[in-house]
Amino acid sequence: MEQIKKYLFLTVTLLLSNLLHAQAMSDGGIMRSNGKILVVMSVVVIILIGLFIYLLSIDRKIAHLEKEAKNK
């Protein structure tokens, strides 16, 4: 289990470093040339973060109920 955790975190870190390199990549494609796609990307990311927060809050509420049910 510990091994899997370490491996997974390593992969995620590698992927995120990949992301930083993306800044350095230059290309004449329409997606990046006018920069407007970043607006769409930001919207998607905001929605994603919002959904994650919602999911987390549900998770916590259920965990709380589980704890209560256990103590009864």
Partner 1 sequence: MIRSFWWKISCVCLLLYTCIYGFYVQVPKLDDRMQETIRNFFFHVPMWFGMMILLLVSVVYAIKYLKNPTIQNDAYSVAFANTGIIFGVLGLITGAFWANYQWGSPWSGDPKQNGAAIAILIYLAYFVLRGSMNDEEKKARIGAVYNIFAFFMLFPTLWILPRLTESLHPGGQGSDGNPGINGKDMDMHMRTVFYPAVIGWTLLGVWISTLKIRYTLLAQKITHGTN
**Residues lying near partner 1 in the complex (CB under 8 A):** 5, 8-9, 11-12, 15-16, 18-19, 22, 25, 27, 29-32, 37-38, 40-41, 44-45, 48-49, 52, 55-56, 58-60, 62-63, 65-66, 69
| Residue pair 45/51 in contact by the 8 Å Cβ criterion | no
| Alpha-carbon gap, residue 24 to 26, rounded angstroms | 6
CB of 29 to partner 1, least distance (A): 7
CB of 32 to partner 1, least distance (A): 8
Q: Which tokens in the block code for residue 24?
A: 């350095």
Identify residue 8 by its one-letter amino acid code. Answer: L
